[in-house]
Amino acid sequence: MEPMKPMEPMDFGPAWWPEHLGQPNSSGGQNGVRYAYFGGKHRLAIERNGEIELYDSGDHQISGVSQQQSTSQSLAFSSQKGDVNLNELQKLN
């Protein structure tokens, strides 16, 4: 039996977020909106319509996204504390 090989780092595809954030802990998207979460920097990057917004994620550890299908297309993220709406996080730019 061969010994286990070390895990390869996850490939998140081409980086669309600011380079200084490094590699995200999680990323994903749906319906034309992408997100990348950077736990060590407490940052959440959102890309929609070609625009990138940065948020302070505080003590939330983001693991997923959901989007309400309405005209506002509000975003909510899964964290260890339950769901958190994007409008509850401090926008940085």
pLDDT computed for residue 1 by the predictor: 67
Pairing of strands 51-56, 75-79: unpaired
Residue 37 to residue 2: CA distance in whole angstroms? 35
pLDDT tens column, 19-46? 999 999 988 887 788 899 999 999 999 9
**How high does pLDDT run on average in the chain?**
83
- Contact criterion met (CB below 8 Å) for 73 and 46: no
pLDDT computed for residue 65 by the predictor: 79
